[in-house]
């Protein structure tokens, strides 16, 4: 395996030759005292339905209760809770290397001050404060992600998160060495933040939003990173693609050397919903939309937005049926998905304007028998956040659909937001889906997603976890902030809507293409990672990168990473393509523009402005 250094890291994708064995299933953690409300009700029994049918008087289905028990895998602490360190350590031991295990956990800290803690996060583990502001909950200690489980390689540190906490790091700097699907949101670090593992081994992340880091952010070997609507003391270095929008203290625009893409503001943003405590009552805060956003939302008193009581939510537990979830939605409830795995025999249908579907602890939806996991109507203000969709073994035509085909309504005042919603095809077992995410509704904001056709794990192979398309955008005026899409058999992203915008894109082409013929695209060699449709007259992107690592057949040639119509309204800024170790080559960056990648140097070929 090639060596690396902070100046010239080995490509992120070399990591994925390793196959990580699935860990043992999660053991249920004890319920922590302090949660209230009644447990979620079960679906009406078949026997009861039959009895009602026999009487000839079908009754209206019994209303489901709002609120409920957050379940055994949500651990809630307050400053007086004994043995907090021992309890979080027990979760970490179980989850540290459980890359494809079934354990799911949320660690929640009530407002107050905590001392001497080091909360280490493994797979499918979220840590969050329960205050309205991050400064309501202060950990004098660390929230740590490192890579000891993988010999110092952080490039598989997926599916974990930290939110809504203030940290005073024990040694002045907190370590957050992550890869994809590991958001760092609404955090206040009273010190520095290192984004690479101990010893600065390989790293491939990542995403920060609505956070204040008072000291220096040190990416070191991090190959790419996106930071949005935050404040930082300083930024140390860049490797391939570092993108900032709305970040106070961000380095100046300088792509490609150093590779900084810096936008003064984010055109439109709305932060992720979050659970918090108001007195002894659990509520969900819904941050307000911002335009031309810059800096954090919480720095000057109460943040802008509204909140909902937990009684407005159906608090779902693993094992509940899709029919019950849909019944709750039809009755006007929102959904709070507690940690665990949910098998679906029909799509979750989100039809009501303003509905919130919020997951805790990487709640995971698995569509069975080829169904779509979730569909929304063409209505205002839906918020989808904090869950994983894992494709089933029977091919699904789509996994997530935002709006129906032909959606046309204007949602500029109150868009749908899709935040920390991640999709996986294969890895935990065979999975298939023709298209992972389809966005039809206008003005949708896709804020941090990782859409991944697995390149390692169980059920992985060119046809075994077949998935032709990652993201298809048909709706107009859609904005993507932090778009990670990797390894699809054909196009990773296809964008057909008008006036689309993407700020930061990270991609790797499918490693496992067996030969050139398998990726031949008519007269073109290979499928672009990001394709703008021929009929599009207005589109813009900033800080987009595509990498190839054809490890099955290193002679494969990729004509380009990006494809777009050549017209004035279609614009790109700061594009790059990289051949990882010379395993495959790009002939151009976008269309027929940009120098080919060369040799085994992993030096990007760049285009600063298109056209």
Q: Which of 68-72, 486-490, 573-577 has the lowest mean pLDDT?
A: 68-72
Tell whether omega for the bond before 434 is within 30 degrees of 0, i.e. cis: no
d(CA 307, CA 279): 14
Q: What is the pLDDT of residues 318-355, one digit of tens each?
A: 999 999 999 999 999 999 999 999 999 999 999 999 99
The pTM of this model reads 0.91
> Phi/psi at 564 (nearest 5 deg)?
-160, 155
Of 601 and 74, the structure prediction assigns the larger pLDDT to 74
d(CA 83, CA 80): 9
d(CA 325, CA 71): 17
Has residue 220 got a pLDDT over 80?
Answer: yes
Q: What is the pLDDT of residue 504?
A: 99
d(CA 242, CA 256): 10
Pick from 235, 214, 225: which is nearest to 299 by CA? Answer: 214
Q: What is the pLDDT of residues 165-190, one digit of tens each?
A: 999 999 999 999 999 999 999 999 99
Q: What is the pLDDT of residue 9?
A: 37
Has residue 492 got a pLDDT over 50?
Answer: yes
Give mean pLDDT, residues 533-547: 98
Half-sphere CA count of 252, side-chain side, radius 13 A: 1
Q: What is the pLDDT of residues 7-27, one digit of tens each?
A: 333 344 333 333 233 333 333
When the pLDDT of each residue in the chain is averaged and rounded to a whole number, the result is 91
Residue 211, token pair as written in the block: 């956070």
Q: What is the pLDDT of residue 600?
A: 83
d(CA 430, CA 459): 4
Q: What is the pLDDT of residue 601?
A: 84
Going by pLDDT thresholds of 50, 70 and 90, the confidence category of residue 4 is very low
Residue 583, token pair as written in the block: 């395993």
**Active-site annotation holds for 508:** yes
Has residue 45 got a pLDDT over 60?
Answer: no
CA dihedral 118, 123, 128, 134 (to 10 degrees): 70
Residue 289, token pair as written in the block: 């939309």
Has residue 56 got a pLDDT over 80?
Answer: no
Q: What is the pLDDT of residues 243-270, one digit of tens each?
A: 999 999 999 999 999 999 999 999 999 9
* Residue tagged active-site, from 96, 163, 486, 508: 508
Q: What is the pLDDT of residue 61?
A: 60
Q: From start to end of 341-468, where are the E strands? A: 341-344, 348-350, 356-367, 374-376, 383-390, 396-402, 417-425, 433-439, 445-453
3-class SS of residue 187: coil
Has residue 299 got a pLDDT over 90?
Answer: no
CB 134 within 8 A of CB 188: yes
Has residue 419 got a pLDDT over 70?
Answer: yes
Q: What is the pLDDT of residues 358-400, one digit of tens each?
A: 999 999 999 999 999 999 999 999 999 999 999 999 999 999 9
């Amino acid at each position: 395996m090639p060596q690396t250094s902070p100046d010239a890291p080995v490509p992120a994708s070399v990591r994925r030759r390793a196959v990580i064995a699935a860990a043992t299933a999660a053991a249920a953690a004890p319920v922590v005292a302090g949660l209230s409300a009644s447990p979620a009700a079960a679906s009406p029994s078949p026997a009861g339905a039959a009895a009602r049918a026999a009487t000839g008087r079908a009754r209206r289905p019994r209303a489901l209760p709002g609120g409920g028990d957050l379940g055994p895998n949500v651990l809630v602490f307050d400053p007086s809770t004994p043995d907090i360190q021992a309890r979080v350590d027990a979760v970490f031991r179980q989850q540290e290397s459980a890359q494809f295990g079934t354990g799911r956990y949320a660690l929640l800290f009530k407002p107050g001050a905590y001392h001497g803690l080091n909360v280490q996060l493994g797979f499918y583990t979220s840590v969050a404060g329960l205050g309205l502001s991050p400064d309501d909950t202060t950990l004098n200690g660390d929230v740590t992600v490192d890579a000891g489980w993988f010999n110092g390689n952080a490039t598989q540190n997926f599916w974990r998160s930290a939110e809504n906490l203030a940290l005073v790091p024990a040694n002045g700097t907190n370590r957050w060495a992550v890869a994809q699907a590991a958001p760092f949101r609404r955090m206040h670090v009273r010190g520095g933040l290192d984004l690479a593992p101990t010893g600065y081994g390989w790293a491939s992340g990542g995403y920060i939003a609505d956070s204040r880091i008072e000291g220096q952010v040190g990416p070191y070997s991090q190959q790419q990173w996106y930071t949005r609507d935050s404040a930082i003391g300083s930024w140390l270095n860049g490797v391939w693609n570092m993108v900032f929008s709305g970040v106070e203290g961000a380095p100046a625009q300088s792509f490609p050397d150093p590779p900084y893409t810096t936008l003064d503001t984010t055109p439109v943003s709305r932060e992720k919903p979050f659970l918090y405590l108001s007195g002894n009552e659990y509520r969900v805060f819904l941050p307000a939309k911002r335009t031309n956003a810059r800096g954090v939302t919480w720095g000057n008193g109460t943040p802008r937005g509204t909140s909902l009581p937990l009684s407005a939510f159906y608090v779902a537990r693993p094992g509940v049926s899709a029919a019950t979830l849909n019944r709750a939605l039809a009755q006007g409830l929102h959904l709070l998905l507690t940690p665990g795995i949910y098998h679906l025999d029909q799509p979750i249908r989100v039809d009501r304007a303003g509905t919130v579907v919020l997951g805790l602890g990487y709640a995971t939806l698995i569509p069975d028998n080829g169904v779509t996991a979730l569909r929304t109507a063409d209505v205002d203000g839906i918020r989808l956040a904090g869950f994983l969709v894992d494709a089933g073994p029977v091919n699904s035509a789509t996994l997530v659909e935002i709006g129906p085909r032909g959606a046309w309504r204007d949602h500029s005042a109150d868009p749908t937001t899709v935040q920390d919603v991640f999709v996986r095809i294969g890895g935990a077992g065979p999975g298939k889906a023709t298209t992972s995410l389809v966005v039809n509704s206008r003005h949708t904001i896709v804020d941090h997603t990782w859409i991944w056709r697995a390149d390692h794990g169980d059920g992985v192979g060119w046809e075994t976890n077949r998935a032709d398309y990652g993201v298809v955008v048909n709706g107009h005026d859609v904005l993507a902030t932090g778009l990670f899409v990797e390894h699809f058999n054909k196009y990773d992203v296809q964008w057909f809507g008008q006036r689309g915008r993407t700020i930061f894109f990270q991609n790797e082409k499918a490693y496992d293409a067996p030969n050139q013929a398998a990726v031949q695209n008519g007269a073109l060699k290979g499928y672009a990672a990001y394709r703008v449709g021929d009929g599009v007259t207005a589109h813009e992107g900033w800080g987009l990168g595509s990498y190839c690592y054809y490890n099955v057949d290193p002679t494969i040639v990729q004509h380009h990473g990006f494809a777009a119509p050549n017209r004035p309204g279609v614009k790109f800024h700061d594009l790059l393509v990289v051949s990882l170790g010379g395993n495959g080559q790009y002939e151009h960056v976008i269309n027929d523009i940009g120098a080919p990648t060369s040799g085994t140097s992993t030096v990007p070929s760049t285009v600063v402005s298109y056209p």
